[in-house]
Amino acid sequence: MHSFVVNLGVVTLLTAALSVKELLKWYGKEVLALNKVSFDVDEGDFFVIIGPSGCGKSTLLKCVSGILDWNDGDIYIGGKSMRDVPAYKRDIALMPEAYALFPHMRVYDNVAFGLRMHGRPEDEIGKEVENALKLVGLEGFGKRWPSELSGGQRQRISLARAIVVNPKVLLLDEPLSHVDYRLQRKLMEDFKLLHEELGNTWILTTHVQEQGLSMAETLLVMNNGVIEQIGRPEEVYKWPRTVFAARFVGNINLLHGEVVSQEKGGCAVKTELGELSGTFAGDSNLIGRKVAYGVRPENIVINPKATVDNKVGAKLTGLYYFGELVEYMFKTEGAIEMKARTSPVECKLGEKYTIGWDRRDASILERPSMIEGLNIEDVIYGR
Ligand code: ADP
């Protein structure tokens, strides 16, 4: 919960905005939704929790906001235990997944709701509501009914209702799941700007990897009630700690194999495509171990230089244009699919090519998941 920062010889004690310790949450006796989850969120962070549907994201936010009780562990906000603190006394606002605006209240009253609950005087409320509506770009919308708003506008009003109480921590549960793709992009930019302007701590959940990667300052990857990895997005993308994190964050070609030799920083792995070399960031002895071998599509070169570390022959079976980038689908002799993503190159469907990549661009992963006892091949192939 606390971290020390040494600044010009002065030791300062920093308290995390939110600290979750060994949080355990069961629904009945059947569903273990959070399995001893622990993490800290720094003051002012834009913290994104990413994971597949049903992995426990909403449950976590509900526990933090005070809607749900938990079985064991604790939650601290600004260093204070929330165990016996009711929802309305936590310095937190939750923007729920569905907009949850009160349909029988005009926009103004919807946004004013939290301030009235806190017993603020009406003239102050008026100013705060107008300011919140301005911040979300909907100045002058106070008289409308929720039914007179588009999906994007409802989302913004829901956001205005959350930020108007000036919470220390703002929780946004899947805020982009009910709007179309174009609007998602726009809202993502707006959220980032607003976060910068307000300077408080934002925690957002999503099951969409692109949103997690592009918005987060810190990314938490969750799987079945367990944390797979926490880090800066580029760190998680480049150095996934588990096969699950590698698969869930970004695209990756994954193979499995057995380590045949190891030296500092790297290994040779016997895979379905022959012996391939890759980077291993850990220090365990992997010789003879079953591992995953992953290479991101943007690191695969079509017709590589002779000096490239790994090469395989493959037939081009598909290609998809993404503007300046093209995704090329290859099938190797053993019918393994490999995807490359590069700027356009001269290539014909059905023709055979050599594809290659350097060992520094291939990761060797020893852990399938932070969940104990999973089979590495099952996680690689998403079974
Ligand atoms: P996410 O937000 O990541 O989609 P949730 O937190 O909603 O995941 O759900 C986590 C797990 O808890 C899932 O298995 C879900 O089915 C289960 N769950 C959620 N709410 C309830 C509930 N009220 N009663 C029983 N099980 C629940």
pLDDT digits (tens), the chain, 383 positions:
554 444 544 554 568 999 999 999 999 999 999 999 999 999 999 999 999 999 999 999 999 999 999 999 999 999 999 999 999 889 999 988 776 789 999 999 999 998 998 888 988 999 999 999 998 889 999 999 999 998 888 888 999 999 999 899 999 999 887 777 877 888 888 899 999 999 999 999 998 888 888 889 999 999 999 999 999 999 999 999 999 999 999 899 999 999 999 998 899 999 999 999 999 988 899 999 999 999 999 999 999 998 999 999 999 999 999 888 999 999 998 889 999 999 998 889 999 999 999 999 999 999 999 999 998 988 988 87
Which pLDDT does position 6 carry in this prediction? 46
What residue owns the CA closest to ligand 1's atom 21? Answer: 27
Residue 30 carries which DSSP code?
A: T
Among 25, 27, 204, say which to mutate for ligand 1: greatest number of ligand atoms within 8 Å of CB. Answer: 27
What is the value of pTM for the model shown?
0.90
Which pLDDT does position 210 carry in this prediction? 82
Q: Is the CB of 229 under 6 A from ligand 1?
A: no
* ∠ CA 50-205-237, rounded to 5°: 30
Among 58, 223, 227, say which to mutate for ligand 1: greatest number of ligand atoms within 8 Å of CB. Answer: 58
Q: Is the CB of 57 under 6 A from ligand 1?
A: yes
Q: Is the CB of 345 under 6 A from ligand 1?
A: no
Residue 329 tokens read as 């689908």
For residue 227, how far is its CA from the centre of ligand 1 (angstroms)? 16
Q: Is the CB of 62 under 6 A from ligand 1?
A: no
What residue owns the CA closest to ligand 1's atom 19? Answer: 59
Q: Are 91 and 169 in contact (CB under 8 A)?
A: yes
The fold of 2-238 is: Rossmann fold (3.40.50)
Q: Is the CB of 52 under 6 A from ligand 1?
A: no
Q: Is the CB of 55 under 6 A from ligand 1?
A: yes
Q: Is the CB of 223 under 6 A from ligand 1?
A: no
Domain pair 2-238 / 243-380, same fold: no
Residue 134 tokens read as 């301005």
Which pLDDT does position 383 carry in this prediction? 78
φ/ψ bin of 300: left (φ > 0), alpha (ψ from -120 to 50), beta (otherwise): beta
Q: Which atom of ligand 1 is nearest to the CA of 222?
A: 3
The fold of 243-380 is: OB fold (Dihydrolipoamide Acetyltransferase, E2P) (2.40.50)
Q: Are 254 and 247 in contact (CB under 8 A)?
A: yes
Q: Are 216 and 233 in contact (CB under 8 A)?
A: yes
Q: Are 229 and 235 in contact (CB under 8 A)?
A: no
Residue 271 tokens read as 């895979």
Q: Which atom of ligand 1 is nearest to the CA of 174?
A: 2
Domain extents for the chain?
A: 2-238, 243-380
The enclosing H or E element of 324 equals none
Which residues lie closer than 8 Å to 19 by C-beta, 6 or more apart? 1, 39, 40, 41, 75, 76, 79
Q: Is the CB of 31 under 6 A from ligand 1?
A: yes
Kindly tell me the burial class for residue 309, based on how many C-beta atoms sit within 10 Å of its own C-beta (0-12, 13-18, 19 or more): middle
Which pLDDT does position 133 carry in this prediction? 94
